[in-house]
Structure 1
Amino acid sequence: MPQMLLIVEPIGQRAERGRADGEAVYQRMLDFAAELQAEGLLLGVNSLGSAAKRLAKRDGGAQVWDGPFAEAKEMVGGYFLLDTEDEGVAMAWAERCPAAEWATVEIRGVGPCYM
């Protein structure tokens, strides 16, 4: 099963960083993605916005909540989807990920929900 590196970052961190620093950090992440691509490991990558909605369907109806969510202290800020089943390989790349300096990099296998 492929491995995903989830970037879990503190809410508000992007605004505190400011545009110039944000662009520099983003370039580091693009460079990291290029390294993964050069190794033939990158299946997908994206940065995720901070605005969010949540939806739950219960008893035949849907309920929608608009973010930001007051109880949340962190958000998933992006991901790298790696073409490897080897968790050790994913861990080694997570250690190289620039986001590990300001966020947490979570390693997860990607597969059917019954696994």
Structure 2
Amino acid sequence: MPQMLLIVEPIGQRAERGRVDGEAAYQRMLDFAGQLQAEGLLMGVNSLGTAARRLSKRDGAVQVLDGPFAEAKEMVGGYFLLDTDDAAVAQAWAERCPAAEWATVEIRGVGPCYT
């Protein structure tokens, strides 16, 4: 089962960081992705935007809520999808992830929702 590193960051952090520091942080993340790719572990990676919508459908009625969501204190800012079924390997890479310095790196196995 592949392992995913989810970057869970505080809302507003990107704006507070500013452009110069933000570009430096982004470069560190690109370098980290390059290391994963060099090891043959990188299956996918993306940074996620801050704008979001939530959709639910109950009894045929669709409800769409545009963010930002006042109750949210964190957001998923991006992910790395690793080609390993070894959670210890994923954790070792999460410890090396630059985002662990300013966000939380959540490690999750990727697989069917019935397991």
Measured against the shorter chain, the TM-score band is over 0.9
2:53 and 2:74 map into 1 onto residues whose CA distance is 15
Q: Which residue of 1 aligns with 2:8?
A: 8
**Alpha-carbon shift at residue 61 of structure 1 (Å):** 1.1
Structure 1: 4+ residue segments shifted above 6 A: none
Deviations 1:91-113, CA, capped at 9 Å, x for gaps: 00000000000000000000000
| Corresponding letter in the other structure for 2:21 | D
TM-score by length of 2: 1.00
Identity, % of aligned positions:
86
Q: Residue 43 in 1 paired to residue 43 in 2? A: yes
1:33 and 1:12 map into 2 onto residues whose CA distance is 24
Q: Residue 75 in 1 paired to residue 75 in 2? A: yes
| Corresponding letter in the other structure for 1:88 | A
Q: Which residue of 2 aligns with 1:89?
A: 89
Q: Residue 101 in 1 paired to residue 83 in 2? A: no
RMSD (Å) for aligned C-alpha atoms: 0.2
| Corresponding letter in the other structure for 2:46 | N
Q: 1:26-65 to 2 correspondence within 5 Å?
A: 26-65=26-65
**Alpha-carbon shift at residue 20 of structure 1 (Å):** 0.5
- Corresponding pairs, count: 115
1:41 and 1:89 map into 2 onto residues whose CA distance is 10
User: Which runs of 5 or more structure 1 residues have no equivalent in the other structure?
Assistant: none
**Alpha-carbon shift at residue 17 of structure 1 (Å):** 0.2
**Alpha-carbon shift at residue 9 of structure 1 (Å):** 0.2
